Chain A
Amino acid sequence: MDDLGFIVASYVVTFASVALYARGVLHRSRKAARDVPRDKRPWL
């Protein structure tokens, strides 16, 4: 498979970007949640 490097790179770019973004969102949420009482979160 000559094109393997390009194929693997496309999958790595895709899922690594999503994982990094998801990690960032969860991190920002945790940071913001420190000062917001639990009963003010309508989804809980």
Chain B
Amino acid sequence: MSNDRVTSTPFTKGLGFFVLLGIALLIILGIFVSPADVNQGESVRIMYAHVPGAWLAYLAFVMTAVSSAAYLWKRTRSLTWDRIAGASAEVGVLFMGISLVTGSLWGRLTWGTYWTWDARLTTTAFLFVTYIGYLAVRGLGGTHQQRARRSAVLALLAVLEIPLVHFSVELWNTLHQEASVAGRGTDVEMNGLMLFTLFLGVVVFTLMYVWLVLHRQRSLMLEDMLEDSGLDSALSERRAEATQAGR
């Protein structure tokens, strides 16, 4: 059996190519070409990795909630939705972790500290831990349907934290700046090339998310199939033993 195309298709291969191209362009623009910021100097270059990472984590967690709702709704109930939710949550945790680390490095340069118990940082860390908990709950065992039901309910509760994280900079006094592009009443005065690089980062990270989720949900499907076939063969063995014992 060829393993070359286990979870990939011509679409994911093409997508992967564009993602790699986009990453190369983002690194060139982000580190070498875009200008330094008037206030933050060179450290603003971290923004092109940090902001798209945070955006993607939000997107991934919202997608987890939407897929979970689709699973719980009887008309659309399918384990595919559950696997998309699981895959999306995993990718979301990865990008939330990336966002926390890059934010910490950026914080060291602009605030003089890697970490402070600020409202945005604390709520973000709490969101990160919540979704690690979600992934742990997915791995608790039981049938695929039991896993899907309990994790879907948890995903619908966990997503409620996102508005709290997003608006924490407006609700409390915080070191973290407000949204620089899409904030309420934000007067955008960002250099065109900086804005373009940030936009490119968001697009590249979103494409990366699609690639990762497609592969991960297919990998989860393979793992589920493997578990089912293992269960089927164990049941057949037990039935055969019972039949022999009955003779």
Contact = CB atoms under 8 A, between A and B. Distances in A.
A40 B225 contact: yes
A27 to B, nearest CB: 9
B12 to A, nearest CB: 9
A11 B30 contact: yes
B222 A36 contact: yes
Contacts of A1: 42
The majority secondary structure among interface residues of chain A is helix
Interface stretch (B3-11, B129-137, B159-167): B3-11
Given A43-B9, A43-B218, A10 B46 contact: yes
Contact of A10 (B23, B106, B226): B106
B158 interface: no
A2 to B, nearest CB: 7
Interface stretch (B97-105, B143-151, B185-193): B97-105
B27 A11 contact: yes
B216 interface: yes
Nearest to A35: B226
A17 B42 CA distance: 23
Contacts of B219: 25-26, 28-29, 32
Given A3-B109, A44-B5, A10 B215 contact: no
B84 interface: no
A9 B30 CA distance: 13
Given A17-B98, A25-B212, A6 B222 contact: no
B87 to A, nearest CB: 9
B237 interface: no
Contacts of A34: 1, 3
A33 B42 contact: no
Contacts of B23: 15
B97 A17 contact: yes
Interface string A8-30: 11110111011001100110111
Interface of B: 1, 3, 5-7, 9, 23, 27, 30-31, 41-43, 45-46, 49-50, 53, 91, 94, 97-98, 101-102, 105-106, 108-109, 208, 211-212, 215-216, 218-219, 221-223, 225-226, 229
